[in-house]
Amino acid sequence: MKYEAKKDRRSSLLFKETRAKTDIYTVEARSLLNKATGFMAAYDFTLNPYRGCQYGCSYCYAAAFSPDSQKRQDWGNWVAIKTNAADLLDRELTKWQKKYDTPPRIYMSSVTDPYQPIEKQQELTKQLLKVMLIYQPILVIQTRSPMIVRDLDLLQQFEYLRINLSIPTGSEIVRKDFEPRSPSVKARLQTINKLRYSIASNHQNKIYFSVTITPLLPTLIADRDKFFSQLMGIDRIVLQDFHPTHKNSLIASTPHQAIALKQKYAWWYDDVAESYHDFKQNLENHLIAWSSPTEILEGKAGFAYD
C-alpha cells in the first residue's frame, strides 16, 4: 500500500509570504529521515516536517541548526515547509521495509515543533502520520502544542508510540518570560491528560506519555504543589538542566536576553544545582505520597521510547 501525494518539482524556494510576523517559505527536501546521532542515538532517524519554529523559545538549542547566521538571529520569525515531505517519507520507509524486518525508531521532532501554528493550515504533520501508519514505526512525538489532539484518530492507531509534551515550568509567569509565544501551562497540562485518557495501551499497542520538563525552568514555590499534582499518573517525567551560559550554549537567545532572564530569577539560578535537586526531591516525594507509578528519568535516558 502506497501513500499518494501530489508531486511538485519546482524550484527549492517556491514562495515567501508573511503571516503574523512569520516569514513562510516552502522548500523541497532531499531527505526526510535523518540519521539520529548524539543525544538521539537511541533512534534510527529524526524527522522534522519543518525548518524553523514559530514558538522561538528563548533557550532553544535548535536555532544553532539554522541555515545561516541571519536566520539564527531571527529564530522564531521564519518557517520553511517541506512540501515533498509525505511523498519522500513514503519512499524512504519503503526502502527501509525492503531492507529490514524490524520497524525503524523515529523521533519527531528534534529541531522544530511538528505542531507549531503553521501546521493548522498546512497539515503536514498530519500527512506524515498517515504515511507512518502504513509502516508502523516506533515513533516518539515531541511537542508543546495542544494541536496534537486534532490527530487523536490517527495517534490511537499506532502500535508503538510515545508522546512527549514539553512543559518546562509549572508557573505561567515564568513561561511568559522564557517562551512567550508558546501555549499556556494550563493548556499543555490539559492536553497531556486529554491524550492519556483518550488513548490507552492495550494488548495490541504500546502507547505512552511523558512530560518533559526540559530544560528545567524555575517554578514558583506557590505553584509547585499544584503542578506536581497535575503530573500524577503520567507514565514518565523527564528532567534536564537548563542550558549553562558558557560555551555559547544559549545560542538561540541573545546574550542580553539570557542574562536578563537569569538575573530576574536569581533566587533559582544563583545555585541552580541546589534548585534542581530541591525540585526533583519534592517531585519524588509527591509521587510517593500519591502512590503514582510515574517514573522520573533525567537527560538523554528520558527521551528514549522505552
Domain boundaries, the chain: 20-303
Residues 6 or more apart whose CB falls under 8 angstroms from that of 70 comprise none
The whole-model pTM stands at: 0.90
Helix or strand (DSSP H, E) at 277: helix 272-289
DSSP E strands in 202-294: the ranges are 206-213, 236-239
Beta strands in the chain (DSSP E): 16-19, 22-27, 33-35, 45-47, 50-51, 78-82, 105-108, 138-143, 160-166, 206-213, 236-239, 295-298
- Written as tens digits, the pLDDT of the chain (306 aa) is 444 443 333 333 344 434 458 899 999 999 999 999 888 999 999 999 999 999 988 888 877 777 788 888 888 899 999 999 999 999 999 999 999 999 999 999 999 999 999 999 999 999 999 999 999 999 999 999 999 999 999 999 999 999 999 999 999 999 999 999 999 999 999 999 999 999 876 667 899 999 999 999 999 999 999 999 999 989 999 999 865 554 444 443 343 566 678 889 999 999 999 999 999 999 999 999 999 999 999 999 999 999
Q: What is the end-to-end Cα distance of the chain in Å, rounded?
A: 29
Other Cβ atoms closer than 10 A to 197? 10
Is residue 240 within 8 A of residue 211, CB to CB? The reply is: no
Architecture of domain 20-303: Alpha-Beta Horseshoe (3.80)
Three-state DSSP state, 139: strand
Phi, psi of 17 (to 5 degrees): -150, 165
**Residue 171: cis peptide before it, omega within 30 degrees of 0:** no
pLDDT digits (tens, 9 = 90+) for 190-240: 999 999 999 876 667 899 999 999 999 999 999 999 999 999 989 999 999
DSSP assignment of 9-72:
-S-S---EEEETTEEEEEE--S-SEEEP-GGGTTSSEEE-SEES-TT--TT-GGGGGSSSHHHH
pLDDT at 95: 97
Contact 140, 303 (CB under 8 A): yes
Rounded distance, CA 49 to CA 131, Å? Answer: 13
To 10 degrees, the CA torsion angle through 250, 117, 112, 135?
160
